[in-house]
Amino acid sequence: MTACTICPRTSPDGQHLCLVHSGELRGWLTELPAQARLLEQFLVPSVQPSQGRIGGTGRAHSPIPVDIRVLVLLGPGRLDDTPDPDDDGTAPILAILDAWAGHITYHHPSATRDRQGVAYVRPCEQARPRHGATITGWCHWLTAYLPFALTLPLAADLHRELGDLVRRLRNLTHSTPSHHPRAAPCPACDLCTLVKTDGRWHIHCLDCGHQMTPDDYDQHAARYLAQGQAATAA
Ligand SMILES: [Zn+2]
Ligand SMILES: [Zn+2]
C-alpha cells in the first residue's frame, strides 16, 4: 500500500491515486463525451432563420452569438497552437486528451526485436485510439491505459487537468451527473455511501472508492437484508 498523492487515503500497490480518485478519473472519462455532445447543441441555433430577407435591408437576422469558449473547447488543434495570454485557460478538449495520451504513450514501454532477435524496450512512439482521434476515441483510449497511467507520478496532474476540464464543461452545460444512493452499506468500509452515478456502470462508494457491478451489489444487498432479518428474528 502506498499513499494517494491527492488525499490521506492509501492507494493500491504501485499506484499513485486511491480508489476514490482513480474512480473519479474513470467517471470523468465516461462523462466527457456526453458533456461534449451537450456542448455541440450550443452550436445549433435553436431558431432556424426563415428563408429570404425581411424588409429588403439585405440582412435577415443578426448572427446568433456563440460563446467563444464553446468554439474553443470543441475546436481541433494542439495545445501548443493555442497560446493566448488573455484567455481564461480554455483549451480544446481534443488537444487536452491528445496531449495526455502523448504523455502516457511516451512512458509506456514498447518491446521490439531487431533482425538478430535482440529485444529492446523503448517508449511507444504514438498513441492510436481504436475508435478514431475523436473525444470519444481518446476517452476510450485513456480509460484503457488508466491502470498504467496510475503507476506514473503524473497521475495527480491528469486528475487535476481532467477535473478542471469537466468542471468547465459542467459550468457551461449546467449538467452534472446525479448520485443515486443505494440502501446497503459498503462491504469495504461499512458506511452507507454506495451510489449509482448517472453514466457510470459500476455501483461505487463515495467514501472509500470501492466499486462493484450492479449484479454484485444486488447479491450483497440481498445477503445484507437476510442478515438483518435473521438478527431481528433471533
Ligand atoms: Zn485520494
Ligand atoms: Zn466504502
Same domain? 140 vs 234: no
CB 139 within 8 A of CB 32: yes
Ligand nearest to the CA of 9: 1
Q: Are residues 186 and 172 in the same domain?
A: no
Ligand 2 centroid to residue 205 C-alpha, Å: 5
Same structural domain, 37 and 120 = yes
Q: What is the pLDDT along the chain (234 residues), one digit of tens a residue?
A: 789 999 999 999 999 999 999 999 999 999 999 999 999 988 876 545 455 444 444 455 555 667 888 988 998 866 655 545 456 678 899 999 999 999 998 888 766 666 777 766 666 667 777 777 899 999 999 999 999 999 999 999 999 999 999 999 999 999 999 999 999 999 999 999 999 999 888 999 999 999 999 999 999 999 999 988 888 887
Same domain, 20 and 108: yes
One domain for residues 157 and 186: no
Q: Collapsing DSSP states into helix, strand and coil, what is residue 73?
A: helix
Count of helices and strands (H, E) across the chain: 6, 8
Ligand nearest to the CA of 23: 1
- CB distance 106 to 124 below 8 Å: yes
C-alpha 157 chain-centroid distance: 13
In a domain, 221, yes or no: yes
The answer as to whether 145 is a domain residue is: yes
Structural domain of residue 187, as residue ranges?
Answer: 177-234
Residue ranges near ligand 2 (ion) with Cβ within 5 Å: 186, 188-189, 205, 207-208, 210
What is the residue type of 215? D
CA of 224 to the centre of ligand 2 (A): 15
By the 8 A CB rule, do 2 and 14 touch? yes
Query: Could you tell me if 120 and 169 lie in one domain?
Result: yes
Tell me: do 98 and 145 sit in the same domain: yes
Q: Judge if 9 and 114 occupy the same domain.
A: yes
- Number of domain units in the chain: 2
Grid coordinates given for 62: 443578426
Question: What confidence tens digit (pLDDT) does each residue in 201-220 have?
Answer: 899 999 999 999 999 999 99
Residue pLDDT, tens place only, 34-62:
999 999 988 876 545 455 444 444 455 55
- Which ligand is closest to the CA of 185, given by its number? 2
For residues 146 and 22, the answer to whether their CB atoms sit within 8 Å is yes
Q: Which of 157, 176, 195 is the last residue of a domain?
A: 176
C-alpha of residue 125 to centroid of ligand 1, in Å: 31
Considering the domain architecture, whether residues 73 and 6 belong to the same structural domain is answered as: yes
Confirm whether 54 is domain-assigned: no
pLDDT of 123: 62
Same domain, 90 and 26: yes
Q: Let me know whether 137 and 218 are in one domain.
A: no
- pTM, two decimal places: 0.80
Virtual CA dihedral for 135, 139, 140, 145, nearest 10 degrees? Answer: 140
Size of the chain, expressed as the number of residues it contains: 234
Domain final residue, candidates 176, 200, 226: 176
